[in-house]
Structure 1
Amino acid sequence: MTHDGVQRVTLYGILFCFATVSVQATRSKAKLYSISDEITNNLKSEHKPAGLAGFEPGDLAQDFRVKTLDGEFVYPLQKNANSSVIIHAFTNKSAFLECLWTSSASLSDLVQYLPETAEVLFLSLDDSAPLDALWMREQVYRAATFRGKEILSRLHFSPIPVYALGNWIPRVLYSWGCGGLNCGIAQVLFTSPEWKMPVVSKRLNARYDWLNGYWEPKSYSLVDAGNGCEPKTAAAGAVAWVSEGGCSFYTKIKTMADSKAVGVLVYALPGNPIQDMNCDAEECATPLSIPASMLHMEPAVVQALLMRKPVNVSFQVTPSPNFFIAINQQGELAEMGWFLYPTFRFLSWQAQWFDFFEDLVGRLKRPAVVVPVLDDALMQGKAGAQAVVQLPSALQEYDTLELDAALSCPGRRDETCAHWDHTVQLLVCCERFSPYCDLELGRWITAFHRGTGRWLTDVSPLLPLLSSDRCALTMKTVPWAMPWIASLNLRFSHSNRSGNSSEMLRPFKLTSLYNGGTFDKDYNRRFQEIKFIIPVSAKKVELYAVITGHGSDENECGEFCVTSHYFLVNNMYNNSLTFESAGSALGCALRVGEGAVPNEHGTWLYGRGGWCDGLQVDPWRVDITPQLDMGGSNTILYFGLYDGQDPNPVKDPGLSREVLWRFVQGKARQGKARQGKVLAWASTSPHWRMQPWASAWRPRRPRERREGQNHLISSLEPATPYHLATEGSSGDTVTTLQDKVQNIISW
């Protein structure tokens, strides 16, 4: 959930009209220019903490050569020059990396999802580098049997150990901090009174979003529990030592939990690799609150337990070099973030984001009039980041407004980034006493502990908000959030259009529709049918909505449940929006290509109700011109449904806590939706559900929904309401909500 202290659905909906505007093509062309390198660079953070000069994220990578099994890897790339480069340093001392390289699913993810625009250089940190390179190549060859030579030509294996490379790569691997799940050497320390030296073994914890327990920094007693498939009363109060096999990992851990064990160590049988312990299907619905790890069998431990000698166990993480670094298409060094569990899919997601950013750089070179607003401005506290800007003199000539926004961190590494995900709003005020003052122009969600996000969002329908030549803009999040470094440009341009180039449609009027609120049994009772008349000069009418769901009731609404949002026009035409990916296991990971920041230090993978961590919130637009009586009176009605009916949560409806910052108009309350514009109809579809909360930052684990279950949202976050005195006011509802639902479904 976004850590704003509220449970809500934010609903932001407006109606806007287009009219024909005459434009002189020659003047317009003179006003446009391609964005310069200086303006592009004003969105790059220059906050450089003490570190290795020239070897920080964002610095240009120096040239290098590395011997490989098939020749030599040379950077800059001679072929595929427009590709990113990912460098992975393997060590057999890491159980995480062992599983990464022995899991068939992980290797399959590498060959299946690695973009064609990515090259990977595989290294080894160990003395066994020549053997490691041969082994890694063989592992990939087996997984790529049916992929041919294309994928293999972009994977390069070096037999030279990292400490003998003779270039800058070891310096970066050893100097960049790495404290994630895939970093450091997680270990188990065994001691016994008769041993002169402890036994240290590498370990891999069970999947992060399955088990709710954590190893505490203390010594535990170890008890032999066989294969863990049967209850063991002696395990009470101790860590159970069990072998793999005989039953599933879930059965072992649940049986030991029922036996009152405080944790479980599962050891691999001789010759078997360490595995990623995870639940399967319906197993994931049962919460387990004890920690568990897998490791290799230790003969000294087995012998001591057989002889009934006391064995104690504790847990530690030994720092290590970074295992992954990268170079993007711009030639800049880059961090790779967290790999939440052992799969090469995380490597592919980062490479996909590099492709997104390369495309974004190209889009920012398109002709536009650029108004710089924020340049590496500190965004923190109630004030946020503020600026007053002068707008272009002939603003009416442009029909396109885009927000070029970036959020980076106080330092250049991820370790300096804010930890939690929060909603970020851009508010605009061009006339102090206007009803358009301090309305939302854009919305984003911050990433978990990563600061590489940059997005381009089209908000052209909101051009009427810029009603003066000087406007004040504020970019802010909750006041208690850790600081972000914000950058923002407004981009004004002409849309691509055919026909008479001297005319274009430009939005000229906004009409406020509905605000969001608590997604409870009274949610839809708050909304009444609105009557409105279209201005005579209007040529086109669109619905513009910004909707996000937050909070967690017993149905995981509104963050992780599927909700549908409906706008009924003139009692005949329904327009719907459904958040079908909410609660899905990879709903937001699959949006990396759209700009979602990958490999965040938190549960960024799961689909959400209209938003993702590290991504802009896209406005939803619908052309409703054919549904309207352009010369008469029209009506519109909004409502939101969960599971095909009014929401009716039995717990945590979001009325207990207040938010301590103002959202557009007044204080938001827990479970309240932010103001917004919405018009929608939708059907539901199978989705994933989540387990009970494992910790303050872990949502319930997705699992496949049973057939017939349909889930929608619980609280909506709207954006700024638009008020126009000349527009129609709320009117009486023509039919009951239930009648309208049936009417919509029949269409």
Structure 2
Amino acid sequence: MRSTRALLPLLLVVFAAACSSSETSRGSTTGSGGASPGSTTGSGGASPNSTTGSGEGASGGAGSAEGAGGAGGMVEGPGTDTTVTPFDKTPFYFTSDDDRRVVDAPASFPSTGTYERITLHLSLECPPGGCDSWARLASLGLVTAKDPAGDTVIELMRFFTPYRVGASWDLDVTDLRPLLAGEVTLRAFIDTTVGPGSPYGDGWLLHASFDMKGGVPAKIPVAVIPVWSPRRVVYGDPARPIAGAAPPADIPLPAGASSFALRSFITGHGQGNADNCAEFCEREHTLTVGAVPHAERIWRDDCATTAAPGQQGTYRYPRAGWCPGADVRPWTIEFTADVAGTGAAKVAYDVAGYENTCRPDSPSCDGCTLGAGCAYDGGTHTEPGYELSTVLIGYR
């Protein structure tokens, strides 16, 4: 796995980040890589959270929600069936003089009306020179704030490209309706390092559309608030604790909501380390709301049957929350009871204890796998970590 660091209906509620931080790491492509969708990409690439090719991704601080989220009462009746298509065979590629790994597109969603179901259809096709030969980290997000230091993006979907074949997926995004309203900017990201003329393929053609069926959902979402924008969390380095990259947040509960959930994307990356973390090691992750922990093992052992068929490469191997040629499944936690009688949600993230003894500054270099030495070489050995993003959803 390539490890690069850099990845309204009626009202808009803005939650200011108390501070921002960023970090960059580099690596070379080894077949299943990716840069954080919330940070700068390697090889001088543009971040999906940045408007320039070398800008740093923005991350939020402790004690606050990040960026801007959608909020609205949605008191009107069912909306009209509609389809919104921001990307239609849009090319993604990278060459020395043309970087199209990050592409923004305007989209116009119905401003009013409730929707029984909103389905995001996303597919990849091969350009004339063929699809990229490697599996790449990719995402689709919504830009909620522009800033020269790094835009704020809420991740709607995360996926991984297959090895040199096309793929398609459907994801239920009904709960994100407060974001998908009015005039918005969507941002797609594919961490490819190939383009026209490369012997490894021309890149990808992306199609993304939102199929909106008018009606009343079981629970009407009224607010989507970012907790942690997409960011890389280093794993196993005592000098860089988890809470430093994903500080605990204290989020006021949105007005008009009576129930609440957290929706997270978490995937593990980095190989050659002790226990071959974090791409190939199974670990328990915990989201704590108030004093109540919610634990989940972030692991996919069904890649052989759920990933796009017809691939080459190692797509069948189990991985930490992802498969080449598959969409990433959101981890959703209902936490209404945890905040009963309070006006805010205190949210913290952690991962099972681990020290990577196969790292450049380790007091004793041992435990390396895949024949790696302790230096990060960007190929056989890349730093272990997790790509994390989380939003809080309030329902009426």
Q: CA deviation at 1:398?
A: 2.9
Task: Report the secondary structure of 2:274's partner residue.
Answer: coil
Matched, 1:488 2:208: yes
Of 307, 311, 318, 1:600 maps to 311
CA contact (8 A) 1:588 1:604 kept: yes
- Counterparts of 1:8 and 1:519 in 2: how far apart (Å)? 16
Contact in 1 for aligned 2:141/2:188 (Cα 8 Å):
yes
| TM-superposition CA deviations, 1:140-192 (whole Å, max 9, x none) | xxxxxxxxxxxxxxxxxxxxxxxxxxxxxxxxxxxxxxxxxxxxxxxxxxxxx
Corresponding position of 1:405: 122
In the alignment, structure 2 segments of 5+ residues that lack a partner are 5-25, 28-32, 39-59, 196-202, 363-368
Deviation, structure 1 residue 377: 1.6
How far 1:405 sits from its partner (Å)?
Answer: 0.8
Aligned counterparts of 1:545 and 1:473: Cα–Cα separation in 2:
19
Answering whether residue 244 of structure 2 is matched by residue 531 of structure 1, we say no
Q: Is residue 131 of structure 2 the alignment partner of residue 417 of structure 1?
A: yes
The one-character-per-residue Cα deviations of 1:66-87 (angstroms, maximum 9, x if unpaired) are xxxxxxxxxxxxxxxxxxxxxx
Distance in structure 1 (CA, Å) of the matches to 2:112 and 2:144: 13
Find the counterpart in structure 1 of residue 288 from structure 2: 568
The aligned counterpart of 1:444 is 159
Query: Does the alignment pair 1:455 with 2:169?
Result: yes
Identity %: 19
Q: How far does residue 448 in structure 1 lie from its aligned partner after superposition?
A: 0.8
Structure 1 residues 692 and 460: CA distance shift in structure 2, 3 A: farther
The residue aligned with 2:106 is 389
- Structure-2 change in CA distance of 1:633 and 1:615 (3 Å): closer
Q: Is the 8 A contact 2:142 2:155 kept in 1?
A: yes
For 1:419-434, what aligned pairs fall within 5 Å after superposition? 419-429=133-143, 432=146
Q: Is 1:548–2:267 an aligned residue pair?
A: yes
Aligned to 1:555, the other structure's residue is in SS state: helix
State the structure with more CA Rg: 1
Q: Distance in 2 between matches of 1:409 and 1:519?
A: 35
Q: When the two structures are aligned, how many residues end up with a matched partner?
A: 312
CA distance in 1 between partners of 2:319 and 2:243 (Å): 25
Q: Is the 8 A contact 1:558 1:715 kept in 2?
A: yes
Cα displacement string for residues 30-56 of structure 1 (whole angstroms, at most 9, x for unaligned residues): x11xxxxxxxxxxxxxxxxxxxxxxxx
Structure-2 residue corresponding to 1:609: 320
* 8 Å CA contact retained: 2:37, 2:189: no
Q: How does 1:445-524 map to 2 (within 5 A)?
A: 445-451=160-166, 453-466=167-180, 469-478=182-191, 480-482=193-195, 483-494=203-214, 497=217, 505-513=220-228, 515-520=231-236, 521=238, 522-524=240-242
Distance change >3 Å, CA 589–CA 597, structure 1 → 2: same
Asked if the contact 1:516/1:718 (under 8 Å) is kept, the reply is yes
Aligned-partner Cα distance in 2 for 1:462–1:496: 14
Which of the numbers 320, 324, 331 marks the counterpart of 1:620? Answer: 331
* Aligned-pair CA distance for 1:654: 11
- Corresponding residue number in structure 1 for 2:21: none
Query: Is this contact kept in 2: 1:548–1:611, CA < 8 A?
Result: yes
Question: CA-to-partner distance for each residue in 1:626-680, whole Å, 9 max, x for gaps?
Answer: 1112444442221111xxxx2210124799xxxxxxxxxxxxxxxxxxxxxxxxx
In the alignment, is the contact (CA less than 8 A) between 2:109 and 2:183 conserved in 1?
A: no
Alignment of 1:99-138 (within 5 A): none
With normalisation by structure 2, the TM-score equals 0.66
SS of 2:277's partner is: coil
Which of the residues 88, 103, 109 maps onto 1:375?
Answer: 88
2: CA distance between counterparts of 1:24 and 1:535? 21
1:595-622 deviation per Cα after TM superposition (whole angstroms, max 9, x unaligned): x112311111101111100011121111
CA contact (8 A) 1:518 1:653 kept: no
| Amino acid across the alignment from 2:133 | H
Q: 2:354 aligns with which of 642, 647, 652?
A: 647
State the 1:11 CA deviation.
Answer: 10
Q: CA deviation at 1:390?
A: 4.0
Q: Is the 8 A contact 2:114 2:215 kept in 1?
A: no
SS at match of 1:21: coil
Which residue does the alignment assign to 1:354? none
Give the Cα–Cα distance (whole angstroms) in 2 for the partners of residues 423 and 436 of structure 1. Answer: 19
1:650–1:436: structure 2 CA closer, same or farther, 3 Å change rule? same
Q: Summarize deviations over 1:398-448 as a string: whole Å, max 9, x none.
A: 36443211111113xxx8221111111223336646997444332210111
- Structure richer in strand, relative to its length: 2
Q: Which runs of 5+ in 1 are unaligned?
A: 33-368, 499-503, 656-689, 701-712, 724-747
- Is 1:718 aligned with 2:388? yes
Structure-2 change in CA distance of 1:496 and 1:714 (3 Å)? farther
What is the deviation of 1:496? 6.8
Native 8 Å contact 1:19 1:540 kept in 2: no
